[in-house]
């Protein structure tokens, strides 16, 4: 699901827990991008080109969060 994707990426990429606001923003991004490409929820990983692009951009956004800037 979109929630599982966001939660997994945040857990793998951040040393601290993602804020609820940032999590909601990431979730909205994934939903919007997936919907724009007409990919049903739960099938993002099956859509190689589009899915990978959305995942890469989501990872980039997560790594741009203040939570990722901690030492």
Q: Could you count the other beta carbons within 10 Å of the beta carbon of residue 63?
A: 13
Which single residue is written with the structure tokens 């939570």? Answer: 67
pLDDT tens sequence across 45-71: 887 788 889 999 999 999 998 888 875
pLDDT at 45: 80
Contact by Cβ (8 Å): 41, 2: yes
pLDDT tens sequence across 5-39: 999 999 999 988 899 999 999 999 999 999 998 88
The angle subtended at Cα 67 by Cα 20 and Cα 65, nearest 5°, is 85
Structure tokens at 2: 């979109």
């Amino acid at each position: 699901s979109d929630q599982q994707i966001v939660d997994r990426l945040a857990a793998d990429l951040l040393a601290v827990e993602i804020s609820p606001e940032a999590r909601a923003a990431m979730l909205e991004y994934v939903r919007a991008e997936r919907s724009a490409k007409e990919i049903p929820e739960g099938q993002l990983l099956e859509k190689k080109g589009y899915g990978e692009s959305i995942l890469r951009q989501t990872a980039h956004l997560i790594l741009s969060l203040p939570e990722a800037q901690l030492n």
